[in-house]
Structure 1
């Protein structure tokens, strides 16, 4: 067998075996790898490269070696799940770097971090003043977790007692000029509705790169031709304007009538409609 063909077959075999071992080890992002997993990854890669290019030794020797290194992190994870001591040994512990706005210099030295390193990590978290930090923790994966002081935390709708619409999962109903039937059915619409919306917007189906519909029935269109301006959906805004007009009409009727009973009825209806408008406003004005 020619050497180039031998190397080709060994390389393909090494890649296939690496893929199998990766599935066994499990899913983890690069930044979530532990020290052992990082070492194992480098070692297995080196063995795979040696297996692909070293034609004198038997292939199964490299396969056995790669298998041993791949099984070790799996066993390590199983032991870590059973024992807190072993989990701390293999994965390490989190380290407090800032507490109540005060930098813990000893812990910083223990993690071999300089003040510049700490400030860089804080800036990545959009924090530029150490005094704004209540608590900062170096996680076992090297990430810095930061808790700002209460007065420096951004306000939430709950704190302001505001009603906000629930998070919506938009459905992609057109992709690359093709209507997607499954997400369209999930959203509760059909192809006729899509074509009607495209006709209203004056857009051809084949010119649509992506279309997404939300729970309110508004269709977002992104076209291949970026020079074409697609009109923004106005259905919910028109609904809000109509409700406001009805509420204003009720108030005018209450002011214009001389019948006391009718006046009270119009005022009560105007107040009730205003309450409804306040409740649905976050859903209609976005």
Structure 2
């Protein structure tokens, strides 16, 4: 029994060392990308790559050579996909997808949102991470293939600050918050902002909107005005 345990111990040490060396060499051959630059394809490829190496190292019933062949072939397939992606734009779209515009001139692109299964709350979170609290401040927002959001602010929101031009600074009355989502009031935010549905409806009527069901998204602004994005008939 002791001899068997010693054999398994040294076998695991050797298998793990060889698997580690193979993984290191192949990883250097494949190249490197920052984690934030990884597309979904590269992400799952990396997981599969590590899983094969783990099987090689820890499973004694799996022949080491078989695992090494699988690891090398996986690396070859990954290199092939990367090469074809560099040579063909159409193939690159198949492998990595393509960026999607989800806000255009302050208007949410509902079709793009639905295609990516992205909720408005998720979009707002991504904007807040870039210190943007109002959708109407955004000229373009593009969802990149790595899942990050690239934003171009409207010209009026860029450049000089109020301090630069010595303009008077007033405290915001409200924090920009969602009050209507997909034709329904967001009751939690109404309560927190201490405003009523009737107050919002009056704001809508001033904009010529007679029904909350017609509104895809509405957000109260810092000055108490209401930003609205109507539903599209073809969405």
What TM bracket, shorter-length normalisation?
0.5 to 0.7
Question: Does residue 1:63 correspond to 2:63, yes or no?
Answer: no
TM-score between both structures, scaled by the size of structure 2: 0.64
CA distance in structure 1 between the aligned counterparts of 2:111 and 2:9, rounded to whole angstroms: 56
TM-score between both structures, scaled by the size of structure 1: 0.53
CA distance in structure 2 between the aligned counterparts of 1:87 and 1:57, rounded to whole angstroms: 35
**1:6-155 matched pairs, under 5 angstroms:** 6-155=11-160
CA distance in structure 2 between the aligned counterparts of 1:23 and 1:95, rounded to whole angstroms: 31
Alpha carbons 2:140, 2:153 under 8 Å: kept? yes
Alpha carbons 2:124, 2:133 under 8 Å: kept? yes
RMSD between superposed Cα atoms in Å: 1.8
Alpha carbons 2:55, 2:62 under 8 Å: kept? no
- The unaligned stretches of length 5 or more in structure 1 are 161-286
Alpha carbons 2:41, 2:95 under 8 Å: kept? yes
- The unaligned stretches of length 5 or more in structure 2 are 1-5, 166-235
Deviation at 1:59, TM superposition (A): 0.9
Q: Deviations over 1:201-229 (max 9, x none)?
A: xxxxxxxxxxxxxxxxxxxxxxxxxxxxx
SS in 1 for 2:118: coil
Moved more, 31-40 or 18-27: 31-40
CA distance in structure 1 between the aligned counterparts of 2:18 and 2:12, rounded to whole angstroms: 10
Structure with higher Rg: it is 1
CA distance in structure 2 between the aligned counterparts of 1:98 and 1:147, rounded to whole angstroms: 10
Q: How many residue pairs are counted as aligned between the two chains?
A: 158
Q: Deviations over 1:77-106 (max 9, x none)?
A: 111111111111111111111011011111
CA distance in structure 2 between the aligned counterparts of 1:150 and 1:54, rounded to whole angstroms: 59
